[in-house]
Amino acid sequence: MSESPNPRLTGPKVVLLMFGFGVVMVGTLWVYFEFQTRPFRELTLALAEEFPNSRPLVQGGQEKLNEKGEPRILRVLVTVKFDPQEEELFQAAVDRIRQICAQYQDLAEYDELEVHLIQRIPEQEPITRSTVLDLRLTAK
């Protein structure tokens, strides 16, 4: 009976490699998260303070960087407790979000402000409403 050759990777080495891979992946995700959220962190925190339990999400930039003429968009998504289909409440929230954005972000860097409001109702489809504000018109 022939003996099998010694494996090149032993159990402890495999465990160390797996642990190292996990550390590298966590580090990569952390760096990515920092670069994606840092420019909007103060604005996100201000929105969370203004709209409690809203889980705000703020993103900014261009969708297609290689195409000229693509608008620079500041996108804000906020979960609200009211029905966003109600015009007065929707408009008041959009106006307040725009004020907060102007306070914490240089809106001159963007062409459009997208505001998405979502009301989440347990065991039902969420109610959403969105609007796009052209910041080029108000910047002049």
What is the signed CA dihedral for 36, 105, 74, 94, rounded to 10 degrees?
A: 130
Which has more pLDDT, 68 or 100? 100
pLDDT of residue 139 exceeding 80: no
Question: How many Å is the Cα radius of gyration of the chain?
Answer: 23
Mean pLDDT of 90-108: 95
Mean pLDDT of 95-123: 94
Nearest to 45 by CA among 31, 56, 35: 56
Domains and CATH numbers, the chain: 39-139 (3.30.300)
**Average pLDDT score, the chain:** 89
Mean pLDDT of 109-134: 94
Which has more pLDDT, 61 or 92? 92
Confidence class for position 31, pLDDT limits 50, 70, 90: very high
Beta bridge partners of 113: 74, 133
Q: Cα separation of 24 and 119, whole Å?
A: 38
* Confidence (pLDDT) at 90: 96
pLDDT of residue 124 exceeding 70: yes
Cα 90 off chain centre by: 21
Element (H, E) at 91: helix 87-104
